[in-house]
């Protein structure tokens, strides 16, 4: 995973050390431009790297702030399934705060980005590709997290989201529920959430988040 590779690289050097340009690190990770841009956004949220523009710029190892250490503590929970279940429960508890912030701070540009990510979810649902659907869903939620002005909420939520996503590749609907209709239903719920954000419809967002609760075993976020 590109985020893990860059995090490991940054952990080996002193704060302020230049890690390379975006293109150099992207090539080293072997991922697309779009994937690396999403990875970079995540790493900045975690406080792992900083970005400097212009001559001599690039990615630099960030100072390990208390928030960055919190992020690393969350990631260290990765080994136990009980930790993942607990992370999912806490992530779900943070959802209302996150979407409420998005409701009042989201811009037209934010909504445009969210709709582009919805298109990826729709494509994956149509192909009944559970793995790609989970990935697209993860990126949608991470983009919603970008909107909040609270750095603490954003960092904690994204790192919990990352921990859950690492174990979500085999997530399937509950027994007896066909995969295709299930994915299309989850896609439709997220379309409604983004519509409610755009319309500043607080009541609809609250109601949809109750439907969105994924704390039950075997469901995608």
pTM for the model stands at 0.68
Q: Kindly report which listed range (9-23, 64-78, 85-99, 135-149) carries the lowest average pLDDT score.
A: 64-78
pLDDT in tens, 75-99: 555 555 566 777 778 888 899 999 9
pLDDT of 115 reads 97
- pLDDT of 183 > 80? The answer is yes
Query: Predicted confidence band at 163 (pLDDT cuts at 50, 70, 90)?
Result: confident
Beta-strand runs (E) in 32-169: 49-52, 58-61
H/E stretch holding 1 reads none
| Helix-helix angle 130-147:81-105, to 10 degrees | 50
pLDDT of residue 217: 40
Mean predicted lDDT score pLDDT of the chain: 82
Burial 92-119 (b: 16+ CB within 10 A, else e): bebbeebbebbbeebeeebbebbeebbe
- The rounded percent of the chain whose pLDDT value lies above 70 is 82
Least confident window among 26-30, 121-125, 164-168, 180-184: 164-168
Supply the angle between the helices 130-147 and 151-166 in degrees, to the nearest 10: 170
Cα separation, 156 vs 147, in Å, equals 14
> What is the reported pLDDT for 82?
62
> Does residue 156 contact residue 74 with C-beta atoms inside 8 Å?
yes
Question: What pLDDT does 2 receive?
Answer: 79
pLDDT at residue 155 is higher than 50: yes
């Amino acid at each position: 995973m590109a985020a893990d590779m860059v995090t490991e690289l940054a952990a080996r050097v002193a704060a302020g050390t230049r890690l390379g340009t975006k293109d150099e690190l992207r090539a080293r990770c072997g991922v697309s431009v779009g994937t690396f841009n999403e990875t970079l956004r995540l790493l900045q949220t975690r406080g792992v790297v900083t970005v400097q523009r212009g001559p001599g710029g690039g990615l630099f190892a960030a100072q390990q702030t208390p928030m960055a250490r919190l992020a690393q503590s969350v990631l260290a929970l990765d080994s136990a399934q009980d930790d993942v279940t607990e992370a999912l429960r806490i992530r779900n508890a943070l959802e209302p705060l996150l979407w409420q912030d998005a409701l009042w701070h989201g811009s037209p540009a934010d909504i445009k980005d969210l709709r582009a990510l919805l298109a990826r979810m729709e494509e994956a649902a149509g192909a009944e590709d559970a793995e790609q659907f989970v990935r697209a869903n993860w990126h949608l939620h991470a983009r919603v997290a970008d909107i909040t002005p609270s750095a603490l909420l954003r960092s904690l939520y994204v790192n919990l989201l990352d921990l859950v996503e690492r174990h979500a590749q085999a997530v399937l609907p509950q027994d007896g529920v066909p995969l295709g209709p299930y994915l299309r239903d989850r896609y439709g719920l997220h379309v409604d959430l983004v519509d409610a954000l755009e319309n500043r419809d607080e009541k609809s967002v609250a109601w949809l988040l109750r439907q969105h609760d994924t704390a039950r075993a075997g469901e995608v976020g």
